[in-house]
């Protein structure tokens, strides 16, 4: 038995399912997870000494690659001053100013500790601001494990075929309306029926938790206009796409100003951080200025702030987004060529350094389309790629991430491996 298996056996005795987050259990590809010893740049090494080219990237945060010197140095420097104080520090102001200057619609921002906390707080704020109770979300969009958002959710919730988690009271779920992503007609109908009760529409502007796919032309713009028409708020959950597809996220690419934005992952530089921000008049409804309560002992933790700031500054210094686009285009081209030469034309989507591969030839516009992709083929693909030293997401319902530490050689090796795998399918 190798060390990963031994550890997993021990873990299963004392941790539910042996993991601290369900997707890590590899249930959707079968088999057992490997345990990581260390990670550097674009590679991770497992406890059995196997080195892999990594396209999970800590599920998004590792945009510079693993353990970048500049972030490690910032962390080392920060810890010399202490680990956290529960009282304001200068780094929080620097972080807030940085976010406000990068994300076009954000005028004020509050730091939290995870993406889940960000969406939970943004929903409460939207309800408090509008004095309405219903929210509208999209099937297959995942916004963390917030009660009211675990309805038709993606990611781990999809993997287990339990879109509605046990423990979420039906009464809560009834306040959450769901419609298919990219379906303007369905959104219009829901607004026609419930419009004056809808506090907010929350959306992953580029969904990344049922695989990765994109909005139809005009869909996000339509969400902006219908929410304005009904005085509902529009929340962009840019926990994955923020600071990733462009410095200012999807909203910058499309020139749309959501009322609130949820953020996380990259801004923590690898440490646990989330944030939500938006229009000042809405954000000022939060305690201590307003009646919407929100708090956190570790929020704005100085070590996490310095790690995140170092990562953001380095991205800017390196002109990271141009390079990520280059690498992304190389991967896309290589994967498409690999499909062609093996006689397949699976569906591949990409924006910058985020990508998704669906084992179907049909386009994917929503959850139902994504579910039509062949899960057995994904499973074979995952394990065959792993055998060749490439770590793709251990579920078809996740997104692939490229980092600045990936090299042309990494990408070429990946496409060569994919070609072999596609031929074997």
Q: Which of 6, 9, 16, 21 binds ligand HOZ (CB under 6 A)?
A: 21
Q: How far is CA 114 from CA 220, 264, 299, 424, in A?
A: 25, 6, 10, 40
List strands edge to edge, sheet with 354-358.
347-351, 354-358, 400-401
Helices first, then strands: H and E counts in the chain: 15, 14
List strands edge to edge, sheet with 260-264.
108-112, 274-278, 260-264, 233-237, 198-203, 134-138, 176-179
Beta bridge partners of 198: 134
142 included as an active-site residue: yes
| Minimum separation from the CB atom of position 21 to ligand HOZ (A) | 3
| Minimum separation from the CB atom of position 155 to ligand HOZ (A) | 4
108 included as an active-site residue: no
| Minimum separation from the CB atom of position 10 to ligand HOZ (A) | 19
Among residues 155 and 311, whose Cβ is nearest to ligand HOZ? 155
Of 265, 369, 379, 391, which one is the catalytic site residue? 265
Nearest-angstrom CA–CA distance, 234 and 126: 9
For residue 138, the tally of other CB atoms under 10 A from its CB is 27
Residues 46-65 that bind ligand HOZ (CB under 6 A): 59
| Minimum separation from the CB atom of position 154 to ligand HOZ (A) | 8
Secondary structure class of 330 (helix, strand, coil) = helix
Q: Do 155 and 162 touch, CB atoms closer than 8 A?
A: no
Q: Which of 237, 369, 398, 419 binds ligand HOZ (CB under 6 A)?
A: 398
- In 3D space, the residue among 131, 144, 126 whose CA is nearest the CA of residue 277 turns out to be 126
Q: Do 46 and 389 touch, CB atoms closer than 8 A?
A: no
- In 3D space, the residue among 57, 101, 72, 100 whose CA is nearest the CA of residue 353 turns out to be 57
10 Å CB burial of residue 253 (0-12, 13-18, 19+) is: middle
Tell me, residue by residue from 118 to 157, as one string, x for binding to ligand HOZ by CB under 6 A and - for no binding: -------------------------------------xx-
Q: Which residue is nearest to ligand HOZ (CB)?
A: 21
Residues 180-209 that bind ligand HOZ (CB under 6 A): 209
Q: Which range, of 17-25, 61-69, 78-86, 402-410, touches ligand HOZ by CB under 6 A?
A: 17-25
183 included as an active-site residue: no
Q: Which range, of 16-24, 172-180, 246-254, 360-368, touches ligand HOZ by CB under 6 A?
A: 16-24
Q: Which range, of 18-26, 106-114, 304-312, 333-341, touches ligand HOZ by CB under 6 A?
A: 18-26
Of 55, 108, 134, 237, which one is the catalytic site residue? 237
35 touches ligand HOZ (CB under 6 A) = no
Q: How many residues bind ligand HOZ (CB under 6 A)?
A: 8
Which residues of the chain form contacts with ligand HOZ (CB under 6 A)?
Answer: 21, 23-24, 59, 155-156, 209, 398
Active site residues: 142, 237, 265
């Amino acid at each position: 038995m190798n060390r990963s298996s031994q550890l997993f056996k021990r873990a299963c005795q004392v941790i539910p399912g042996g993991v601290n987050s369900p997707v890590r259990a590899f249930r959707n590809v079968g088999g057992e997870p490997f345990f990581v010893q260390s990670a550097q740049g674009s590679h991770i090494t497992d406890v059995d000494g196997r080195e892999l080219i990594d396209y999970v990237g800590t599920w998004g945060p590792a945009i510079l690659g693993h353990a970048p010197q500049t972030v490690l140095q910032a962390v080392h420097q920060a810890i010399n001053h202490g680990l956290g104080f529960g009282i304001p520090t200068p780094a929080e102001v620097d972080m807030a100013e940085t976010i406000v200057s990068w994300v076009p619609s954000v005028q004020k921002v509050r730091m939290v500790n995870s993406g889940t906390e960000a969406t939970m707080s943004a929903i409460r704020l939207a309800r408090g601001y509008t004095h309405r109770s219903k929210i509208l979300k999209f099937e297959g969009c995942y916004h963390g494990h917030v009660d009211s958002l675990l309805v038709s959710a993606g990611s781990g919730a999809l993997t287990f075929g339990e879109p509605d988690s046990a423990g979420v009271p039906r009464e809560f779920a009834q306040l959450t309306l769901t419609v298919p992503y990219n379906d303007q007609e369905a959104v219009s109908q829901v607004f026609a029926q419930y419009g004056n009760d809808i506090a907010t529409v929350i959306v992953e502007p580029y969904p990344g938790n049922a695989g990765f796919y994109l909005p139809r032309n005009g869909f996000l713009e339509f969400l902006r206009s219908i929410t304005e028409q009904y005085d509902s708020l529009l929340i962009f959950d840019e926990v994955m796409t923020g600071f990733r597809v462009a410095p200012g996220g999807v909203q910058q690419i499309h020139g749309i100003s959501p009322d609130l934005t949820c953020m996380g992952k990259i801004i923590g530089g690898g440490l646990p951080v989330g944030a939500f921000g938006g229009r000042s008049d809405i954000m000022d409804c939060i305690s201590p200025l307003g009646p919407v309560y929100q708090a956190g002992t570790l929020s704005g933790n100085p070590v996490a702030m310095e790690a995140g700031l170092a990562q953001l500054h380095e991205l800017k210094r390196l002109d990271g987004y141009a390079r990520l686009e280059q690498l992304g285009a190389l991967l896309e081209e290589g994967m498409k060529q690999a499909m062609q030469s093996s006689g397949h034309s699976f569906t591949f989507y990409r924006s910058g350094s985020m990508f998704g591969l669906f084992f179907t030839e049909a386009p994917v516009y929503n959850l139902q389309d994504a579910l039509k992709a062949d899960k057995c083929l994904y499973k074979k693909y995952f394990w065959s790629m792993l055998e060749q030293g490439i770590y793709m997401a251990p579920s078809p319902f996740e997104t692939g991430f490229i980092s600045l530490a990936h090299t042309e050689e990494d990408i070429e090796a990946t496409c060569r491996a994919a070609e072999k795998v596609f031929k074997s399918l």
